[in-house]
Amino acid sequence: MAAEIVNPRSDSAPEPDGENSPLDSFDPAFALHRGGKMAVQATVPVRDRDDLSLAYTPGVAKVCSAIAEQPELVHDYTWKSQVVAVVTDGTAVLGLGDIGPEASLPVMEGKAILFKQFGGVDAVPIALATTDADEIVDTVVRLAPSFGGVNLEDISAPRCFEIERKLQERLDIPVFHDDQHGTAVVTLAALRNAAKLTGRELGDLRAVISGAGAAGAAIAKFLLEAGVGDVTVTDRKGIVSRDREDLTEVKRELAEITNRAGLVGSLDHALDGADVFIGVSGGTVPEPAVASMAPGAFVFAMANPNPEVHPDIAHKYAAVVATGRSDFPNQINNVLAFPGIFAGALQVRASRITESMKIAAAEALAGVVGDELSADYVIPSPFDERVAPAVTAAVAEAARAAGVARR
């Protein structure tokens, strides 16, 4: 793991102004964030005139000229191949919702330091003062020459789908919406190991997803791609099915590929006899609905801070229980996926992140558990030092196999 991080600015940052400030300077969260959580640090010394002449003018001109003649050299002689833009518009931040770009910055800074801490990848938080999808796309395209990849973060659905698709069409670097794909990768890894533990195949499972937003839609598609037998998605109005006339375009697409059993009605009805519950929506699932699931079911209740099914209830009926919280076993945490996925993609200068690369990441993540597999350990800890190297290597290999690697 990386060495302890010290914020050189925290002692010099001003205290909140005014006697009526809502901020508690003694709260450890405010104390940690004071002055920001990250800073730019040079990787080369500038100690004297000779160092200066190499790091800046006139030495830098030689490098610039070489890149102008051979653009691919930018990967070798700048930070481009090691840095990711973490881009948001602040419309779907954690459990806080649409809080705007400025208020989203602490989260984006946090994401950036997780990239560095867990994957060795540099990242720059970019909070945009627009919620217009085309303006976001155009802005990121103009910024893209400085970065080796783009991580879209906390952008509300359904715009997040359109933004990701348009960016990947216009850019030749990886674009990855972590709220969708990171969640899906870690969920699949946990599901693989849960199935292995109970002697089942993915194709034998019928999964129910509560939530048809960014995470729910991506998980549904990804599980089907990985070979799960059937997936039913529900929203606030019930099962997303072809007979409904109130579906958005994204939900209509989901209805075409999910719910092969042809179910209609509520979440409770969908859970009757289901093998897997995946919660990415919040709310509370009634205990009788959990009890109606198939014997040996899996409950992945990932809403934070309050899981859709409390583990004490879930354990009465389920063989494997996972949440999004760190104080229960089997935490479904995106930090298990995105640092290694980007590290692997950057390592081979991939032009995109393919489905096969994401599946490889999930398989590698599941493989870290190995012979230690148990009901309380189907997914490794984010602090397991084996995670990032395993995911990085698997993603790089899959990128080469998919033909999107450039070295």
> What is the set of active-site residues?
56, 111
Distance of CA 102 to the CA centre of its chain: 21
**Are the beta carbons of 209 and 251 closer than 8 angstroms?**
no
Backbone angle region of 188, left / alpha / beta, with phi > 0 → left and psi within -120 to 50 → alpha: alpha
Please name which of 138, 139, 178 lies closest in space to residue 342, comparing C-alpha atoms: 178
Q: Is residue 246 exposed (0-12), middle (13-18) or buried (19+ Cβ within 10 Å)?
A: exposed
Question: Longest Cα pair distance anywhere in the chain, in angstroms?
Answer: 75
Beta strand 149-152 with 122-127 is unpaired
**Are the beta carbons of 377 and 197 closer than 8 angstroms?**
no
Q: Is residue 259 part of an annotated ligand binding site?
A: no
Q: Which long-range contacts (CB under 8 A, 24 or more apart) does 31-40 make?
A: 32/7, 33/106, 34/7, 34/10, 35/7, 35/9, 35/10, 36/7, 36/9, 36/109, 37/7, 37/106, 37/109, 37/110, 37/112, 37/113, 38/109, 38/112, 38/113, 38/125, 39/7, 39/8, 39/9
Backbone angle region of 301, left / alpha / beta, with phi > 0 → left and psi within -120 to 50 → alpha: beta
What is the distance between the alpha carbons of residues 316 and 288, in angstroms, rounded to a whole number?
11
Please name which of 86, 73, 159 lies closest in space to residue 125, comparing C-alpha atoms: 86
Cis check: omega of the bond before 158, within 30 degrees of 0: yes
Q: Is residue 304 part of an annotated ligand binding site?
A: yes
Q: Is residue 193 part of an annotated ligand binding site?
A: no
**Are the beta carbons of 297 and 318 closer than 8 angstroms?**
yes
Q: Is residue 19 part of an annotated ligand binding site?
A: no
φ and ψ at residue 84, rounded to 5 degrees:
-120, 140
What is the distance between the alpha carbons of residues 362 and 218, in angstroms, rounded to a whole number?
14
SS3 177: strand
Q: Is residue 333 part of an annotated ligand binding site?
A: yes
In 10 A of CB 25, how many CB atoms? 10
Binding-site residue ranges for (S)-malate: 304, 333
Q: Binding site: what residues are annotated? A: 153-154, 179, 304, 333
